Amino acid sequence: MVKIIGFCILFMTTAAWAGDKAIIGPTAHMFVTETGLNFEARIDTGAGNTSLHAYDLEVEGGSAKKMKDNVGKMLMFTTENAAGEKKRLKGKIVKTSTVSNSQGRETRYMVELHVGDKGFERKVKVNLRDRSHMDYKLLIGRNWLKGKYIVDVSDKKLIGPVAPISIVETGLMFKTRIDTGAVENSLHAVDLHVEGGVDDMEKNLGKILSFTTENEKGEAKRVHAMIVETSLIRNAQGSEVRYMVELTIGEKGQEYKVKVNLRDRSKMSNKLLIGRNWLQGHYLVDVSI
């Protein structure tokens, strides 16, 4: 989606200029030169690195037991875009990348590829991951965006990839990951208890849910809120259903009501993740801040 702000001029089909940085929307058409394929990419400020769908990975000459010992070797892999177009590639493993998510940690190979609007691609390190069950086969992370792009899910104030955010109902401040790749906000929550709850999560809508949350400093609070809906979340490990409640969230003194899904984020660095349902209509994301 293209947004033009003030004196910005149209930048190809993907972005507009604001000052010395281009503005790019939450999704964009991207071309990966080495593949000859076009991808509809998710622009994700929550991801440090760009990630490409890849399967049938094979290290030339055989793989060492430890992935990091394969750095410098040639890797063969197959990628595929959303249209089902496939390409078998061969590239040098330049490093490995360890990715943390709510299911734990995993290590991925990284290769260098040219990614961008067709004719304006830039070389970037890309980690390789089976994204076959994901909507977007290419995810653009901060290593491609930094210094060149502001991510616009609306057309408002600037916010960085991490920000101090308040949740009024908890009385706590959170060091929050701002994640344009996430549709919804997500809050660390454990010890969930539904008053008069049943096993069927859908039948608990409208009931009061109590849970404990904790910020990065270890400050904890027990919260009571009404379940407003359930949310089906898909990620690299599969899918899960989470409860959603409404909480008052924002920069201190500028909070507003928004839906939040609840998930045990004890393994994650950031206990609160802000998604597009909070950003929409309010903020631009600049990963250089």
**Boundary (domain end) residue, out of 103, 130, 152:** 152
Pick from 272, 276, 269: which is nearest to 213 by CA? Answer: 272
Q: Can you give the residue range of the structural domain that contains 273? A: 157-286
State the Cα torsion 213-216-217-220 to the nearest 10°.
Answer: 0
Split into its structural domains, the chain has a count of 2
Structure tokens at 11: 């930048």
CA 244, CA 288: separation in Å to the nearest integer? Answer: 31
108-112, 153-157, 229-233, 258-262 — which is least confidently predicted?
153-157
Task: Note the residue count of the chain.
Answer: 289
87 and 40 fall within a common domain: yes
Residues 125 and 220 in one domain: no
Residues 16 and 144 grouped into a single domain: yes
Rounded (5°) CA angle 236-240-246: 115
212 and 88 both lie in a single domain: no
Residue 79 pLDDT > 60 = yes
Q: What is the pLDDT of residues 10-48, one digit of tens each?
A: 333 445 555 578 889 899 999 999 999 999 999 999 999
22 in a structural domain: yes
Residues 19 and 141 in one domain: yes
Residue 13 tokens, joined: 């089909």
pLDDT digits (tens, 9 = 90+) for 111-134: 999 999 999 999 999 999 999 999
Domain identity same for 16 and 137: yes
Same structural domain, 187 and 226:
yes
**Nearest-CA neighbor of 236 among 112, 110, 108?**
108
pLDDT of residue 1 exceeding 50: no
Q: Report if residue 136 sits inside a domain.
A: yes
List the one residue out of 208, 187, 201 whose CA is nearest residue 271.
187
Give 152 or 41, the one with higher predicted confidence: 41
- 122 and 74 in a common domain: yes
Q: What DSSP character marks residue 49?
A: S
Whether residue 4 lies inside any domain: the answer is: no
Shared domain for 145 and 19, answered yes or no, is yes
With CA atoms as reference, report the closest residue to 187 among 244, 105, 257, 253.
Answer: 244
Residue 190 lies in a domain: yes
Closest C-alpha to 81, from 136, 25, 144, 26: 136
| Residue 235 lies inside a defined structural domain of this protein | yes
Flag whether 2 is in a domain: no
User: Which class for 176: exposed (0-12), middle (13-18), buried (19 or more C-beta within 10 A)?
Assistant: buried
Claim to verify: residue 179 and residue 276 sit in the same structural domain? yes
Same domain, 123 and 23: yes
Any idea what the CATH number is for the domain that residue 228 is in?
2.40.70.10
**3-class DSSP state of 43:** strand
Give yes or no: residues 40 and 123 share one domain. yes
- pLDDT score, position 22: 87
Note whether residue 214 is domain-resident: yes
pLDDT at position 55, please? 98
Note whether residue 5 is domain-resident.
Answer: no
Domain boundary among 102, 123, 152: 152
Which two structure tokens, joined as six digits, stand for 106?
């995993």
Give me the phi and psi of 50, to 5 degrees please.
Answer: -75, 145
pLDDT band, residue 200 (cuts 50/70/90): very high
DSSP element (H, E) containing 255: none
Mark which of 152, 180, 214 sits at the end of a domain. Answer: 152
